[in-house]
A and B are shown apart, each in its own frame.
Chain A
Amino acid sequence: MLREGQVRIPSGCAISGFINKKGVRISGTDIINSIAIMKERGNGLGGGFAAYGIYPDRKDWYAFHLFFDDIKAKEDTEHFLNQNFEILESEVIPTRKVSSIQNSPIVWRYFVKPLEKRLRDAEKTEEDFVVDSVMFINSRIEGAYVFSSGKNMGAFKGVGYPEDIGEFFRIDEYKAYIWTAHSRFPTNTPGWWGGAHPFTLLDWSIVHNGEISSYGTNYRYLEMFGYKCTLRTDTEVMAYLFDLLLRKHKLSVEIAAKALAAPFWSVIDRQSEQEREKLRAIRAVYASCLVNGPFSIILGFSNGILALNDRIKLRPLVAAQKGDFVYVASEESAIREICKDPEKVWMPKGGEPVYVTLDEGVIV
C-alpha cells in the first residue's frame, strides 16, 4: 500500500449550480453534465445535488431524507417521528444499481408536518420545531442522519463521483428550477455519506469548495443557539450560519454575506460614513460568524441562490447568464457544457455576492 507522501491527489472540490428565474423546472441531466466536466477537481469520495421544486404535489410537507445504518436506526427514528409528526408518506428513495457505488446506507424519505399538539407544547415556531427535531435525530439516534429537511426540495448525496451519485439517485428523473452540485475532495474527514455536500437544513442547502479555518469559532457560536455540529466537517457550520442569520435574525442576504466574508478593516475605513458605520456594526455583532479561510460556496433556498467567495478569493468562481438562467460554477467550462453561448460571463470579486432570486410574482 502506498503511504502518505508517496501518493498525491492533485484536486480541490468543484461546485456548480443554476436557477431558472421564471421557476421553470428542468431535469437533473444538465447539472450532472456540468459537474462531471470538472472530474479532476474531486477524488470520488463525495458527490451530491440539491434540487428545488421536485415535490410539487407534496409541497406543503417537509421532505425528510434520511440515511440509516441499520433497521434499528430506522425503527428508532420512526418511533420519534410518529410521536412528533403527522406522516403523509414513508418510502424508499428510488435508486439504481451503480457498480462504483458501494456500501450505501438505507436511504429513506418521509413527508411530514409537526403535530399541532407538539408545536403548542413546545411553544416554538414550526420551523424551529423541525430544526430541533433534525438536531435530535442527528445527535441522539445512533445510525440515523437527516440529510435533507426542506419543503418541495431535496438533497441527494453520497460517497462516489457526482455523476455516479446522480445515476444512483436517478437525478435525471427529477425536475427542478434550482439545481446545485458538488464534487468532493475531503481533506480533514474520511469521506462519509453524511459528510458529502450539499449540507442542508430546512430549505437551505450549501455546496462548498475550500476549507474553513474558523470552524471552531463558528461552531461554538452556533452551539449557543442550539445547533449541533455532529459531523466535524467544516461546511456544516455554513448551512447553520445562514439559517441563523437569514431565517432567525432576518438579515438581508447582502448583510449576511458581509458578515461571513467581512471586508478588511482597511477597506471599511475607506467607505462613506454611513457605510462604514454599518460594516463596523456587522463585524462587531457578528464577529463569530466571520468565515475565515478559502471558500467558494453556492447557497440554495426556495427563492433563489447566493454564490460567494472568501474576501481574498482563494477559490475560483465564475458566473454566467442567458435568458432566464443564471449559472455559477468553479470553472467556466462547467457552465459552457450546459449553456453553449451565454450572454454574459463574469468572475465575481472576492466577497462580492452573486445573488439571484426568482422573478417577482413567480410562484413555485
Chain B
Amino acid sequence: MADKQKLTIDAKGIHYKELNEMIENALNEGYKEIDLINVNGQRYIGDGLTFPDRKLNIYGTPGNDLAAFMNGLTIEVFANGQDGIGNTMNAGKIIVHGSAGDIIGYGMRGGEIFIKGDVGYRVGIHMKEYQDKIPVLVVGGKAGDFLGEYMAGGRIIVLGLTLKDGEPITGLYCGTGMHGGVMYLRGELQPYQLGKEVKVVDMEEEDYKFIDKYVTEFVKLFGYSKEYIMSKPFYKLIPYNKRPYGKLYAY
C-alpha cells in the first residue's frame, strides 16, 4: 500500500452512499488524511471503519449517525454536528468544533468524543464499558434532558463553558436508570434534575487525575485556559445500584 498523504473530496451534491464509498476507497488506497469539503447532511460518514492511524476533516454539516459503529479513525468536524454522533462506536476519536444534536454517544462502547459547544437531549444514553474499553464523552457546553439515561458504563464530562448566569448545566432526568459509569459535571444540579437512580458523591484524587487528562486535551483542541476550567468545582455522579430495576419484574 502506497503511503499517500492527503486527499480532498468535494462532497457537494453527492449522495451519502457514493460519498462513503469514495472515503473508504481512499483509505484503502493508503491516504493518511482526507479533507471532506462542502459536506451537508450526508449521513453515516465514517461508519464501521477501522483505520486507527487515519483522519477525516469535515468542512460543513455532516448528517446523522456520524461515526456509528466506528472501530478506529479520527474525525474532526469544523461545524456543528447533527444527531446520533458516535452511535455504538467501538474506538476512535471525534472532535466537533461546534455544538451537536440529540443522542450523541448513544450506546457508545469505546473511543472518545469531544464537543466544543452544547449538546441536545439523551446524550450518552446507554453508554457501556468492558474491561479496558471505556468510552469518554467530553462536552464543553451544556446538555439537554436525559443526559446519561440508562448509562451502564463509560465517562461523561460536562464543562458548562457556555452557561449564562443561573442556567443549569444539564436538563431534567439526568442519569435516570443509570447503573454504571461516572458523570463529572462542572456545575451543581438541583435534586429535581437528577434521576432517581443517581447520586452525587465527593470528588477524589483519582477523579481529578482522570479529569485533568481530558481537560488538557480539550484545551489543546479548542483553546480555553485550563486554570479557568479547573477553577470551578466538579460534581461526580454515580449510580446507587448496579441493577436498579432488578426487582421490578421479579414477582
Do A and B pair up? The answer is yes
Stretch binding the partner chain, chosen from A20-28, A232-240, A333-341: A333-341
User: In the complex, what residues of B have CB within 8 A of residue A350's CB?
Assistant: 121, 145
Q: Given A40-B16, A347-B101, A347-B102, list of 17 further CB < 8 A pairs?
A: A312-B145, A313-B102, A313-B120, A316-B101, A318-B101, A331-B41, A331-B63, A331-B64, A332-B101, A333-B40, A336-B40, A336-B60, A336-B61, A337-B41, A347-B118, A349-B145, A350-B145
Q: Mark A323-334, 1 if CB is under 8 A from B, else 0.
A: 000000001111
Q: Across the interface, do A334 and B41 meet the contact criterion of CB distance under 8 Å?
A: yes
Kindly state whether residue B47 has any CB partner on chain A within 8 Å.
Answer: no
User: In the complex, what residues of A have CB within 8 A of residue B99's CB?
Assistant: 345, 347
Kindly state whether residue A38 has any CB partner on chain B within 8 Å.
Answer: yes
User: In the complex, what residues of A have CB within 8 A of residue B61's CB?
Assistant: 332-333, 336
Kindly state whether residue B80 has any CB partner on chain A within 8 Å.
Answer: yes
For residue B83, which residue of chain A has the nearest CB?
A316
Q: Across the interface, do B192 and A332 meet the contact criterion of CB distance under 8 Å?
A: no
A4 to B201, CA, bound (A): 49
Given contacts A313-B144, A331-B63, contact A270 B101 (CB under 8 A): no
Kindly state whether residue B90 has any CB partner on chain A within 8 Å.
Answer: no
Interface residues of B in 20-68 (CB under 8 A from A): 40-41, 43, 60-61, 63-64
User: In the complex, what residues of B have CB within 8 A of residue A334's CB?
Assistant: 41
For residue B39, which residue of chain A has the nearest CB?
A333
Q: What is the minimal beta-carbon distance from B58 to any residue of chain A, in angstroms?
A: 12
Q: What is the minimal beta-carbon distance from A347 to any residue of chain B, in angstroms?
A: 5
Given contacts A312-B145, A331-B64, A332-B82, contact A337 B40 (CB under 8 A): yes
Q: Across the interface, do B41 and A266 meet the contact criterion of CB distance under 8 Å?
A: no
Which one, A37, A345, A349, contacts B41 given CB within 8 A? A37
Kindly state whether residue B171 has any CB partner on chain A within 8 Å.
Answer: yes
Q: Across the interface, do B101 and A333 meet the contact criterion of CB distance under 8 Å?
A: no
We find that the number of chain B residues with CB closer than 8 angstroms to chain A is: 23
Q: What is the minimal beta-carbon distance from A259 to any residue of chain B, in angstroms?
A: 21
Q: Mark A26-60, 1 if CB is under 8 A from B, else 0.
A: 00000000000110100000000000000000000
A261 to B145, CA, bound (A): 16
User: In the complex, what residues of A have CB within 8 A of residue B60's CB?
Assistant: 336
User: In the complex, what residues of A have CB within 8 A of residue B172's CB?
Assistant: 267
A266 to B43, CA, bound (A): 38
Q: Mark A190-230, 1 if CB is under 8 A from B, else 0.
A: 00000000000000000000000000000000000000000
We find that the number of chain A residues with CB closer than 8 angstroms to chain B is: 20
A350 to B122, CA, bound (A): 12
Q: What is the minimal beta-carbon distance from B64 to any residue of chain A, in angstroms?
A: 7
Which one, A37, A313, A337, contacts B121 given CB within 8 A? A313
20 A–B contacts, CB within 8 A, in A order: A40-B16, A40-B43, A267-B172, A312-B145, A312-B146, A313-B120, A313-B121, A313-B144, A313-B145, A316-B101, A316-B102, A331-B63, A334-B41, A336-B41, A337-B41, A345-B80, A347-B102, A347-B144, A349-B145, A350-B121
For A266, A312, A334, A345, the residue with the greatest tally of chain B CB atoms inside 10 Å of its CB is A312
A182 to B109, CA, bound (A): 35
User: In the complex, what residues of A have CB within 8 A of residue B80's CB?
Assistant: 332, 345
For A267, A313, A347, the residue with the greatest tally of chain B CB atoms inside 10 Å of its CB is A347
Q: What is the minimal beta-carbon distance from B194 to any residue of chain A, in angstroms?
A: 13
For residue A312, which residue of chain B has the nearest CB?
B145
Interface residues of B in 168-201 (CB under 8 A from A): 171-172, 192
Which one, A266, A270, A333, A349, contacts B82 given CB within 8 A? A333
Q: Across the interface, do A37 and B40 meet the contact criterion of CB distance under 8 Å?
A: yes
Q: Across the interface, do A266 and B145 meet the contact criterion of CB distance under 8 Å?
A: no
Interface residues of B in 64-100 (CB under 8 A from A): 64, 80, 82-83, 99
Q: What is the minimal beta-carbon distance from B41 to any residue of chain A, in angstroms?
A: 3
A332 to B102, CA, bound (A): 12
Q: What is the minimal beta-carbon distance from A341 to any residue of chain B, in angstroms?
A: 11
Q: Across the interface, do B120 and A347 meet the contact criterion of CB distance under 8 Å?
A: yes
User: In the complex, what residues of A have CB within 8 A of residue B146's CB?
Assistant: 312
User: In the complex, what residues of A have CB within 8 A of residue B40's CB?
Assistant: 37, 333, 336-337
Given contacts A312-B145, A333-B41, contact A349 B171 (CB under 8 A): yes
Interface residues of B in 105-161 (CB under 8 A from A): 118, 120-121, 144-146
Given contacts A331-B63, A349-B171, contact A270 B43 (CB under 8 A): no
For residue A316, which residue of chain B has the nearest CB?
B83
Q: Mark B8-26, 1 if CB is under 8 A from A, else 0.
A: 0000000010000000000
